């Protein structure tokens, strides 16, 4: 791609694609803007090829998952996808080098000012944009130039893989341009990466007493019927597996609280579409524990970029005393580590997760970064968001502490 310093008339405005017919034309601009799920359709193959060529993976921004999220989880017309293309080669073709799904939010931390943020939705566990390996800086520079041209006063990069290729390139560009920026959040979550097999991994990272306790629970559960652990890619009866998973999740506490996928039509449709496309592309990884043929714990993961992302787990609360969820996460270690397609696994769990953090030893860093643009108020906004984010985090921590104290008191009263 020609250096970003060339005149903005060559770069902007980007072609805006809102209908599949218009989007079917071969890209002839540096940036093409997609405004709907239908508009993504002609670019599904290009997005998947970009994902395969990216150093940092993100299954949520691959073609099928991104289209499903825009169709079922995005507010109408609120989410855009900026596709960054290389310059035309000798034969006139262009390569997709970056995909930046973003949302222009009108209010942020109490300010009535439109802020651009890389898009996240209720099921987002990562928001690292897809950029082609070796062209990360070119893609980021072009996206910044586009944001400047549109007058965006601030760009947010939430749920960014810390230390990844994108994060490194972003940091280099911020330093080279002297752009003010602030990290508004950082956490670590459980991660699995090892050359050991499953048994050796547990022996190396879990206390012997704890391993004996989980073995005892497995044996006790096995005394109640035929107990089996299995892994597969969705099986011959994928729809049957999907229904079982949704029923199992709905039967537990998520169903009681109304947060299970089956309780929310849009979220269910997103998961069905995401899982269905992953199954068709051999990118779905299923693990389960069955008792007399009935599932007591199930895990759905998605393969991407040489690794796997553990998306959803469900278990039968009738067997809660056996800790079926923990047993499954221990059993699946060997399945992941022995799979030649998988070099690592991201738990996608919340930080300090009470179960998985004690089973998987490695950690992946995730951070949120706010970046200034050329807007005249941008530097001040970055400084403001640094303070406001700290205050918001403090207030949220206090609110959570009060919530859990009240919840504990209510549960204690109900028990007595």
pLDDT in tens, 115-144: 899 999 999 999 999 999 999 999 999 999
pLDDT for the residue numbered 12 = 46
Q: Is residue 411 part of a domain?
A: no
Share of the chain above pLDDT 90, in %: 71
pLDDT for the residue numbered 87 = 84
Q: Is residue 407 part of a domain?
A: no
Question: What CATH number did the domain enclosing 41 receive?
Answer: 3.40.630
Q: Is residue 355 part of a domain?
A: no
Residue with tokens 């310059």: 87
Q: Is residue 81 part of a domain?
A: yes
Tell me how far the alpha carbon of residue 237 is from its chain's centroid: 27
57-58-63-67 Cα dihedral, nearest 10 degrees: -170
| 166 and 31 within one domain | yes
Q: pLDDT tens for residues 144-166?
A: 999 999 998 889 999 999 999 99
Give the separation between CA 313 and CA 225, rounded to whole angstroms. 22
pLDDT for the residue numbered 280 = 96
| 144 and 97 within one domain | yes
| 338 and 237 within one domain | yes
- Choose the weakest-confidence range: 123-132, 235-244, 249-258, 266-275: 249-258
pLDDT over 80 at 413, yes or no: no
pLDDT for the residue numbered 411 = 44
In sequence order, the β-bridge partners of residue 289 are: 229, 297
Residue with tokens 């050991």: 196
pLDDT for the residue numbered 412 = 46
| 152 and 200 within one domain | no
| 36 and 14 within one domain | yes
Q: Is residue 275 part of a domain?
A: yes
Six-digit token string for 254 = 């998520």
| 159 and 80 within one domain | yes
Give the separation between CA 414 and CA 416, rounded to whole angstroms. 5
Question: What CATH number did the domain enclosing 267 receive?
Answer: 3.40.630.30
pLDDT over 60 at 403, yes or no: no
**Last residue of one domain, picked from the residues 312, 343, 374:** 343
pLDDT over 70 at 226, yes or no: yes
| 201 and 179 within one domain | no
Residue 26 φ then ψ, to 5°: -65, 140
Q: pLDDT tens for residues 33-85?
A: 999 999 999 999 999 999 999 999 999 999 999 999 999 999 988 999 999 99
Give the separation between CA 390 and CA 393, rounded to whole angstroms. 5
The whole-number average pLDDT for the span 7-24 is 44
The whole-number average pLDDT for the span 91-105 is 92
pLDDT over 80 at 375, yes or no: no
Residue 233 φ then ψ, to 5°: -105, 25
Residue 378 φ then ψ, to 5°: -60, -45
Categorize the per-residue pLDDT at 253 as very low, low, confident or very high, splitting at 50, 70 and 90.
confident
Least Cα distance to 58 among 178, 201, 216, 165 occurs for: 165
Domains of the chain: total: 2
pLDDT for the residue numbered 184 = 87
The length of the chain, given as a count of residues: 416
pLDDT for the residue numbered 27 = 47
pLDDT for the residue numbered 115 = 87
pLDDT over 80 at 3, yes or no: no
Six-digit token string for 395 = 């207030």
Q: Is residue 1 part of a domain?
A: no
| 261 and 203 within one domain | yes
| 374 and 337 within one domain | no
Q: How many CA atoms lie within 13 A of 174 on its CB side?
A: 17
Least Cα distance to 284 among 359, 339, 326 occurs for: 339
CA distances (Å), 236 to each of 269, 279, 387, in order?
Answer: 21, 10, 53
Q: Is residue 163 part of a domain?
A: yes
Six-digit token string for 8 = 């903005």
Q: Is residue 15 part of a domain?
A: yes
| 339 and 284 within one domain | yes
Least Cα distance to 339 among 193, 215, 203 occurs for: 193
pLDDT for the residue numbered 209 = 95
Average pLDDT, the chain: 87
| 181 and 142 within one domain | yes
Least Cα distance to 291 among 335, 324, 336, 331 occurs for: 324
Give the separation between CA 98 and CA 83, rounded to whole angstroms. 6
Categorize the per-residue pLDDT at 22 as very low, low, confident or very high, splitting at 50, 70 and 90.
very low
Element (H, E) at 225: none
| 253 and 205 within one domain | yes
- Choose the weakest-confidence range: 80-89, 90-99, 144-153, 396-405: 396-405
The whole domain housing 264 covers 194-343
Residue with tokens 């035309």: 88
pTM of the model: 0.87
Six-digit token string for 376 = 């005249």
301 neighbors 288 (Cβ within 8 angstroms): no
Distant-in-sequence, close-in-space partners of 250: CB < 8 Å, separation ≥ 6: 260, 261, 262, 263
pLDDT over 70 at 108, yes or no: no
- Secondary structure of 195-248 in the HEC alphabet? CCCHHHHHHHHCCHHHHHHHHHHHHHHHCCCCEEEEEECCCCCHHHHHHHHHHH
Categorize the per-residue pLDDT at 106 as very low, low, confident or very high, splitting at 50, 70 and 90.
confident
pLDDT for the residue numbered 303 = 98
pLDDT for the residue numbered 38 = 96
């Amino acid at each position: 791609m020609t250096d970003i310093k060339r005149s903005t008339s060559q770069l902007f405005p980007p072609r805006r694609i809102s209908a599949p017919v218009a989007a079917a034309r071969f890209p002839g601009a540096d940036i093409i803007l997609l405004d709907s799920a239908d508009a993504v359709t002609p670019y599904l193959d290009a997005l998947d090829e970009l994902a395969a060529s990216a150093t940092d993976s993100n299954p949520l921004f691959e073609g099928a998952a991104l289209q499903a999220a825009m169709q079922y989880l995005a507010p109408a017309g609120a989410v855009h996808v900026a596709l960054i293309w290389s310059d035309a080669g000798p034969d006139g073709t262009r390569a997709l080098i970056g995909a930046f799904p973003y949302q222009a939010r009108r209010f942020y931390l109490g300010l009535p000012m439109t802020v651009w943020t890389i898009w996240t939705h209720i099921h987002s566990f990562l928001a690292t944009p897809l950029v082609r390996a070796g062209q990360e800086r070119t893609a980021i520079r072009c996206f910044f130039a586009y944001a400047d041209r549109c007058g965006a006063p601030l760009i947010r990069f939430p749920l960014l893989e810390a230390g990844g290729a994108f994060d490194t390139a972003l940091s280099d560009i911020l330093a080279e341009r002297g752009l003010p920026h602030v990290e508004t959040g950082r956490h670590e979550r459980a991660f699995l990466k090892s050359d050991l097999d499953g048994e050796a991994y547990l022996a190396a990272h879990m206390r012997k007493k704890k391993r004996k306790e989980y073995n005892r629970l497995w044996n006790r559960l096995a005394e109640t019927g035929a107990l089996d652990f299995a892994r597969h890619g969705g099986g011959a009866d994928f729809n049957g597996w999907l229904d079982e998973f949704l029923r199992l999740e709905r039967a537990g506490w998520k169903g009681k609280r109304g947060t299970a996928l089956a309780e929310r039509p849009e979220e269910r449709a997103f998961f069905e579409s995401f899982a269905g496309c992953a199954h068709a592309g051999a990118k779905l990884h299923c693990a389960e524990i069955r008792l007399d043929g009935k599932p007591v714990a199930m895990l759905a993961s998605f393969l991407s970029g040489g690794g796997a992302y553990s998306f959803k787990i469900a278990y039968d609360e009738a067997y809660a005393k056996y800790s079926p969820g923990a047993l499954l996460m221990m059993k699946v270690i060997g399945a992941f580590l022995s799979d030649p397609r998988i070099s690592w696994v991201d738990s996608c769990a919340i930080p300090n997760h009470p179960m998985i953090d004690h089973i998987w030893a490695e950690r992946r860093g995730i951070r949120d970064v706010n970046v200034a643009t050329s807007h005249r108020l941008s530097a001040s906004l970055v400084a403001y968001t640094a303070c406001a984010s700290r205050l918001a985090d403090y207030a949220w921590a206090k609110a959570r502490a009060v919530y859990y104290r009240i919840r504990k008191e209510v549960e204690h009263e109900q028990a007595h």
